[in-house]
Structure 1
Amino acid sequence: MKIAKVIFLTVTATLLVIFLLGLIGLILKTLKVLFVVALVVALLALVVMLVRRVSKPTSKSGYGMRELESWDKMFTDYKQGTDFKTK
């Protein structure tokens, strides 16, 4: 009876170790896949960032609509001979 108990415990411990090693292997494989996916996403983000930077126009107007309307009003007042600042 003692020998059967020793064999049973040995088989149980061996199966537990094999299961845990398989689980660790699965976790490492999953982490490897996640790392590769994160690397691909980071490279794609870098490419998109570089493409956006390259496709930007070289001369961009820094004026919004409000500033452009103000300049238009100043030019109209100048043509009419009135002072824009005194209005």
Structure 2
Amino acid sequence: MQLPPEFEKLSLQFYSGILDDVETEAKLIDSVLSPFSNPQQRARLRSYLDEITRDHVDDRDLQEIWWSSSADTVFRDSAGLRELLKRLRDRL
């Protein structure tokens, strides 16, 4: 599956060690969303995050989407990943 360019750009923000570079979840969200100043990109990313965090996308599929991205950060469970992606979506 081809990931939208906005999601690829987002996933690149999740480099190895990012969790050591931020003190709070709010700062993490600010950091990873900082490259998205264009309203159209923000809207497309919000729409995609909304789609992949809905109930019809099961945990395994969500993990596969994440693992197929450029992200270096690993989430131990899908619930944590889903919640973070929802928070990102809500901040867009």
Task: Give the TM-score taking structure 2 as reference length.
Answer: 0.21
Larger Cα Rg: Structure 1 or Structure 2? Answer: 1
**RCO higher in 1 or 2 (8 Å CA, sep ≥ 6)?**
2
Bigger share in helix? 1
Task: Give the TM-score taking structure 1 as reference length.
Answer: 0.22
